[in-house]
Structure 1
Amino acid sequence: MLLRCRPGSRARIAERLCAFEEAATIELTGPGSADLLLDVLAPDLPALTRFLTNRLEPLPGLVSVDCLFATSLSVEGSRWRLRSLAPTQLTALRATAAGSPEPTHTLEPDAVDRALLDALVGDGRLGLAALADHAGTSPATVRRRLRRLADSGVLTFRCDMAPVLAGRPVPVSFLARAPARDTATIHRTLAALPECRVVASVTGRANIFATLWLHDLADIQRRETALGARLPTLTVTDRIVGLHTVKRMGHLLDEDGRRVGLRAIRPW
């Protein structure tokens, strides 16, 4: 969602949004088409409608909301890699993950699953014994449940870091248009970029949304020029520069992108 705010109200609105369990990521952006970039997770359209009408739109100081619905997602944070491992390390990692199947069905989490998910949102490093205590079950049951949740695609793990530690302190999100016949090729090209964090097909005037972590502001023009040469049917319609991510997947961040707290998300 792209949010416009009245002057002087953006920080207050961002603080209010942090408390909402539907608001996964909140980013203050540079002057332009949006003042806040908001990632919202909801189990279905009725839940999203309730969030919009009952929680988001009544916020004082909010001027407008532009919703972009993701219709497909090629890359997101759990699939992003720093690309710092040696070839031998990558080979060992792939061998370990070789037995993990691709998601083949939709799983509806039950009460035990939801308890495990809630615990892992707060601390993804919790061990089996701690998770068993939280969910009121046994470590063996936790192991089976986590495998089932991961195999179904409900649960995924990611390791995040402050952008400055990755050497890419400037996040920029591109909105772009392209013919539908070319979107698969464009997604693959963008996903192959080491700085690419998100690639999605979206609804609205633009049909592609991509977020890159870049070295500096000058990289924005260089990257757009290079993409234009490789993808001639891609037309960039907007560039949204992130100034400060205040919340990422439920974790509150300081101005350097380091974790300082938690406002848990609950999209299930």
Structure 2
Amino acid sequence: MADALDLQIINAVQIHPRVSWAQLGRVLRVDPSTISRRWSALTESRQVWTCCYECDDVLGVPAGLVSAIVEVRCAPGQRGAVIAELVRQGPVFSVSCTSGPRDLYLLISTDTLLSMDRYVDERISVVPGVTGTRTHYLRTIYIEGSKWRLRALDAGQVAALETMRPSDPPAQRKPAYQPLIEALATDVRRTAAELQAELGRSVSVIARDIDAVLAAGWVRWRVDFAHTLLGWQAGAMLWLDVPHPELDRVVASLRTLHNVRLCGSVTGSANLAVWLWLRDLQELDEIESRLAVAYPRVRIRDRWIVPRIAKRTGYTLDLDSRWLDHVPISGRVVFED
């Protein structure tokens, strides 16, 4: 089980994914060898993992892709087999078990609206054990997981780490950046020396390009962890009907809630979907009460409880929410016509 120092280290790497242990040691006032040992223990036990991917600068989803939340209903006793098939599919970013008339919901990204429609019909609906689907298209993503922070550091430590992080974004997306991002896709802390032979470039050029993509708004760097081992026992999805004049204020309020991991406008009877992490189900009552008091015109159209996440941002997870395997993220779908 992670302790306070582990949480500080994870939080620090969320802010500056490639901070050196010597730099972090000065911020935390801890010996760098201790930090290195702790990080190795966390990653080797599969409690912490990292990823990065190219994305849309504004929405925070992979570049040029359309995203949707897809409900999946399963035949009795077939949910496990359906999960095993769906987690292997590249366009399926996440797979969550949930409550209500659906058994699962998926976060999927493809290159066009038409390919999303076809993908759900031809690749999801036909999986043995799937009895039905329902698609909610995401329009604007206001909050997404790569920006979520543990909040284990004080304001001074956060400011110090942000100052250390490269802040000069590249003027354009050079072709050389793509293989670099792919090489860092499952370990954002790989050294330039480790990447030299793989990329066929000098250490100095690789180091320069790493700094460039670290500062780029169109690359997302994520540090994820086994949430159940760190105290979050469940998740929930709230489907809100928000009057459009109040949408910006509601989203601004949701940004202040540490529970919120994802928030986006959607199609359907609700126009805002909010994904929450919960330490217990009572937290959901508190959040709903706060919303009701602050925004009496907002209506909760539905609420889904999420007892298990089987896949998150390309990583399949076990029952303890440790990572098991990585499935490369890919929204480019080829259909046989």
Corresponding residue number in structure 1 for 2:138 = 70
Aligned to 2:21: none
Structure 2 unpaired stretches of 5+ = 1-69, 333-337
* Secondary structure in structure 2 of the residue aligned to 1:2: strand
CA contact (8 A) 1:172 1:242 kept: yes
Matching residue of 1:163: 227
1:10 to 72, 79, 93: 79
Matched position secondary structure for 2:275 = strand
CA distance in 2, matches of 1:161, 1:190: 22
Please report how far the alpha carbon of residue 77 of structure 1 lies from its aligned counterpart in structure 2 after TM superposition.
1.0
Following the alignment from structure 1 to structure 2, what is the Cα–Cα distance between the partners of residues 104 and 219? 44
State the secondary structure of the residue aligned to 1:69. Answer: strand
In 2 relative to 1, CA 98–140 (structure 1 residues): closer, same or farther, beyond 3 Å?
closer
Write out per-residue CA displacement over residues 1-55 of structure 1, whole angstroms, 9 at most, x where no aligned residue.
Answer: 121222122111111011111111111113x032112111223334434422332
- The runs of 4+ residues in structure 1 deviating greater than 6 Å are none
Over the aligned positions, Cα root-mean-square deviation in angstroms equals 2.4
Q: Does 1:22 align with 2:112?
A: no
Please tell me the residue identity of whatever aligns with 1:222: E
Which shows bigger deviation, 167-176 or 49-58?
49-58
Q: Trace 1:175-186 onto structure 2 (pairs within 5 A).
A: 175-186=239-250
Q: Secondary structure at the match of 2:223?
A: coil
Q: Deviations over 1:42-74 (max 9, x none)?
A: 233344344223322221222222222222122
Contact 1:33 1:240 in 2 (8 A): no
Instruction: Describe how 1:47-196 pairs up with structure 2 within 5 A.
Output: 47-97=115-165, 99-100=167-168, 107=173, 110=175, 112-196=176-260
The number of equivalent residue pairs is 263
The residue aligned with 2:15 is none
CA contact (8 A) 2:138 2:266 kept: yes
Distance 1:212 1:86, change over 3 A: same
**After superposition, what is the alpha-carbon deviation per residue over 1:168-191, rounded to whole angstroms, capped at 9, x for unaligned?**
221111111111121111111111
Q: Using a 3 Å threshold, how does the CA distance of structure 1 residues 87 and 143 change in structure 2: closer, same or farther? A: same
Counterpart secondary structure, 1:39: strand
Partner of 1:260: 324
**Number of the residue aligned with 2:267:** 203
Taking the aligned partners of 1:60 and 1:209, their CA distance within structure 2 comes to 29
Q: Aligned equivalents of 1:203 and 1:104: distance in 2?
A: 35
Cα distance in 2 between the residues matched to 1:208 and 1:41: 18
Q: What TM-score does the superposition give when structure 1 sets the normalisation length? A: 0.87
Over 3 Å counting, the alpha-carbon distance change for 1:75 and 1:250 in structure 2 is same
Residues 28 and 93 of structure 1, relative CA distance in 2, 3 Å threshold: same
Matched, 1:226 2:290: yes
The 3-state SS of whatever aligns with 2:107 is strand
Can you list the C-alpha shifts for 1:97-140, whole angstroms capped at 9, x where unaligned? 48355x998x5x74x44433333223232222333433343334
Task: Choose the corresponding residue for 1:236, options 272, 276, 300.
Answer: 300
Q: Following the alignment from structure 2 to structure 1, what is the Cα–Cα distance between the partners of residues 147 and 171?
A: 18
> How far apart, CA to CA, are the structure 2 residues paired with 1:129 and 1:47?
40
Distance 1:161 1:3 in 2: 26
Paired with 2:93 and 2:237, the residues of 1 have a C-alpha distance of: 17
User: In the alignment, residue 12 of structure 1 is paired with which amino acid?
Assistant: A
Bigger radius of gyration among the two? 2
